[in-house]
Amino acid sequence: MLIDLLRVRRSIRRFTDQPIEPEKVSLLVEAALRAPSSKGINPWEFIVVTEQSMLEQLAVAKAHSAGFLAGAPLAIVVCADSTKSDVWVEDAAIATTLIHLQAADLGLGSCWVQIRLRQREDGTDAQLYLADVLGLPPNMMVLAIVGIGYPVQSKKGHPPSSLGLNQVSYERFGQRK
């Protein structure tokens, strides 16, 4: 059941050197491509990265939190054509979430690196840097990069007590059970 997967999934930033099998990469891509999108427009593009030199370039795409990509055997850059849909951010976010869930289902770890509206260590724009590195046209926006690999160690899922049940209203805002 999906809820069982959600209960154990965690963000993973440390991976073994084991490469991801091609059939698993294919399943990750298929999961992303099967994501729902507004009006079925599917504005996304996915860039699958396994070359070490490219992973190292992705690792410096933004200040803080991207460095682990240099040690990942796989990254999927989630982009979308901003001219195709006014809700490209939402569509790309749904696809990114499905990549995470598929990774967990395959026994892989993953972690989301936010790129949209982020800067690099030197204060320059992460989008502009990645557009240059990846050869993106001006309308192709990067939402996130997902680092994926076999976890160095397993983490326990978040306990039920960590759920923000106080953030759930019933029938009207602020009406709690």
Kindly give the confidence (pLDDT) of every residue in the chain, 177 residues in length, as a single tens digit, with 9 standing for 90 and above.
Answer: 999 999 999 999 999 999 999 999 999 999 999 999 999 999 999 999 999 999 999 999 999 999 999 999 999 999 999 999 999 999 999 999 999 999 999 999 999 999 999 999 999 999 999 999 999 999 999 999 999 999 999 899 999 999 999 999 999 999 998
Query: Which class in CATH covers the domain with range 2-167?
Result: alpha beta
Bridge partners for 113 per DSSP: 145
> Residue 96 contacts by C-beta under 8 Å, 6 or more apart in sequence?
32, 78, 112, 143, 144, 146
Which residue carries 């990645």 as its tokens?
Answer: 130
Closest CA to 115 of 47, 58, 72: 58
C-alpha span between 77 and 84 (Å, rounded):
18
Show me where the domains of the chain are located. Answer: 2-167
* DSSP state, residue 119: B
Q: Which residues pair with 111 in a beta bridge?
A: 147
Mean pLDDT, the chain, integer: 97
DSSP letter (8 states) at residue 19 = P
CB-CB contact of 86 with 59 (8 Å): no
What is the rounded distance in angstroms from the CA atom of residue 46 to the CA atom of residue 114? 15
Q: Angle 87-89-95 (CA atoms, 0-180°, nearest 5)?
A: 105
**Taking a C-beta distance cutoff of 8 angstroms, is the pair 20, 109 a contact?**
no
**Spatial separation of the C-alpha atoms in residues 94 and 46, rounded to whole Å:** 13
Contact at 8 Å (CB) between 69 and 75? yes
pLDDT at 60: 98
pLDDT in tens, 120-164: 999 999 999 999 999 999 999 999 999 999 999 989 999 999 999
pTM over 0.85: yes
